[in-house]
Amino acid sequence: MTKPEPSTPILVDSREASRLLSISPRKLWELTKLREIPSFKVGRIIRYRIADLEAWTQQQIATATAMALTAKSEDVVNGKEV
């Protein structure tokens, strides 16, 4: 693992996290509240690790890909044309 550049933040606030993920702040709050996205509190403030956001994004992509492949293979088994 490489060390981040000194100017690269390790933690971001909700505004920056939602921008990085290209989702609304409201959606980020929903995901945070449901504990679907990694976050933690520093005092009363919620922060997000950039590395955790990247890992979460990769996990979401892998899950979506697996679901799409499963649905496609089920269609083939059931004789549906894709």
The CA-based angle 53-59-63, given to 5 degrees, is 145
> What's the pLDDT at 61?
93
3 assigned to some structural domain: no
Number of domains in the chain: 1
Range of the domain at 59: 11-77
82 assigned to some structural domain: no
Q: For 1-82, list the strands marked E by DSSP.
A: 11-12, 40-42, 45-49
33 assigned to some structural domain: yes
Percent of the chain whose predicted confidence (pLDDT) is above 70: 79
73 assigned to some structural domain: yes
61 assigned to some structural domain: yes
Tell me the C-alpha distance between 27 and 47, whole Å: 15
pLDDT(77) > 60:
no
Encode pLDDT of 20-40 as tens digits.
999 999 999 999 999 999 999
